[in-house]
């Protein structure tokens, strides 16, 4: 289930991802009702909103209405829910040409909204929240304005489009949801939460961000859950592979998708340009923190460099052999922790425990250098 909640409306008591969605039956018209149980086996999208005729809600519902073909592609049933009555819903739907059901959580007032943690007791209305429920009735993703609010306006250093939290996969961890959850920002065209995010902007950025965070989820599962690492994958490689995954996603977008290759790759190109403009100011490899945009650009370039050098050909399958060797090796530890790049320099970074496909002899041969031992860095001036 995806859940989106507006952080201006009190504590985030929304039911956590990984939970079973509460059952309900609500009317959309006096003689037509919808039950969650009747929809089991297909994805269901519940869009809670405060009121039919409020300005922001009108735009929100209109946006969902424009995306009905996207929901249909995944055989997902979209349902709007507010505390308005059925006749109010009918007038609003006719006025705005809405073509999906609007359900009346009218009496007992807000009962279903309360069950989902999406009721504003002070205002007596539903909170703005979006739940995506899978065919088994389980919450999978959380879209919330709290992500928007992580960076204060005017977001001069960028904004956060979404993230994955490893604690959600740790059994018994009190701060997690015990489920695979992706958190994403929501449209905020008026900048009520932080800097502005248009609906189209979110549609363009979230897909690449989802792929990025899904790669983090894969890495966390492999290194922490399966192999018991306490530190996980090294920062530069973890982020480098996730940014590389964005590029792969961009090469697989479908005809008609609103997010095309340029939107998947733009951030990586921008970040790498920042690094190349001043390489001596940024760490080529790093193991602490989360990394600035310029560093991430460097890590993406470095992963691409390794892929280009060691793939047996230019096909995606051959490239994937290399990235899987990087991502699956528990012992990769780049020797230099804080060496800064110098303009015009070329680096060969040797590591312990590289797979056969990426051993030091192979690296040296590829770059025309002598074989190196671990904990050694060779810096050679680029040929003129």
Catalytic residues, which ones? Answer: 57
Distance CA 368, CA 13 (A): 59
**Token couple for 25:** 């039956």
Distance CA 126, CA 140 (A): 21
CB 149 within 8 Å of CB 11: no
CB atoms near residue 20 (< 10 Å):
12
Q: Please name every residue paired with 131 in a beta bridge, in sequence order, or none if there are none.
A: 46
Distance CA 201, CA 107 (A): 37
For 308, phi then psi, to 5°, come to -65, -35
Distance CA 334, CA 13 (A): 43
Element (H, E) at 345: strand 345-349
Coil, helix or strand at residue 301: helix
* Burial (Cβ within 10 Å: 0-12, 13-18, ≥19) of residue 118: buried
């Amino acid at each position: 289930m995806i859940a989106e909640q507006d952080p201006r409306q009190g504590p985030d008591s929304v039911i956590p991802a990984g939970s079973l969605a509460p059952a309900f039956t609500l009317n959309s018209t006096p003689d037509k009702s919808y039950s969650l149980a009747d929809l089991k086996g297909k994805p269901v999208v519940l869009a809670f909103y405060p009121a039919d005729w409020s300005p922001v809600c009108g735009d929100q519902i209109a946006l969902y209405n424009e995306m009905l073909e996207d929901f249909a592609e995944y055989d997902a049933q979209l349902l709007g829910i507010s505390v308005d009555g059925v006749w109010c819903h009918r007038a609003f739907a006719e006025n705005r040409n809405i073509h999906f059901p609007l359900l009346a959580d009218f009496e007992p007032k807000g009962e279903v909204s309360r069950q989902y943690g999406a009721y504003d007791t002070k205002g007596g209305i539903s909170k703005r929240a979006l739940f995506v429920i899978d065919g088994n009735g389980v919450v999978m993703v959380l879209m919330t304005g709290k992500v928007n609010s992580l960076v204060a306006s005017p977001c001069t250093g960028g904004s956060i489009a979404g993230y994955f939290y490893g604690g959600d996969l740790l059994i018994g961890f009190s701060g997690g949801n015990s489920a695979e959850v992706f958190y994403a920002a929501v449209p905020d065209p008026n900048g009520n939460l932080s800097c502005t995010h248009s609906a189209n902007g979110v549609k363009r950025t979230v897909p690449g961000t989802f792929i990025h965070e899904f790669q983090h989820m894969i890495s966390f599962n492999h290194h922490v859950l399966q192999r018991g690492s306490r530190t996980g994958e090294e920062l530069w490689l973890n982020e480098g592979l996730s940014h590389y995954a964005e590029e792969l996603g961009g090469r697989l977008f479908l005809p008609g998708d609103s997010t095309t290759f340029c939107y998947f790759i733009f951030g990586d190109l921008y970040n790498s340009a920042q690094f190349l403009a001043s390489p001596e100011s940024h760490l080529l490899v790093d193991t602490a923190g989360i990394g600035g945009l310029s560093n991430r650009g460097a890590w993406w370039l470095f992963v691409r460099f390794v892929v280009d050098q060691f793939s047996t050909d230019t096909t995606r399958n051959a490239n994937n052999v290399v990235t899987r060797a990087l991502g699956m090796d528990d012992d990769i530890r780049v020797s230099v922790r804080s060496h800064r790049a110098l303009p015009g320099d070329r680096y060969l970074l040797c590591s312990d425990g590289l797979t056969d496909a990426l051993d030091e002899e192979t690296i040296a041969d590829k770059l025309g250098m002598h074989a190196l031992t671990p904990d050694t860095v060779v810096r050679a001036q680029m040929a003129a």
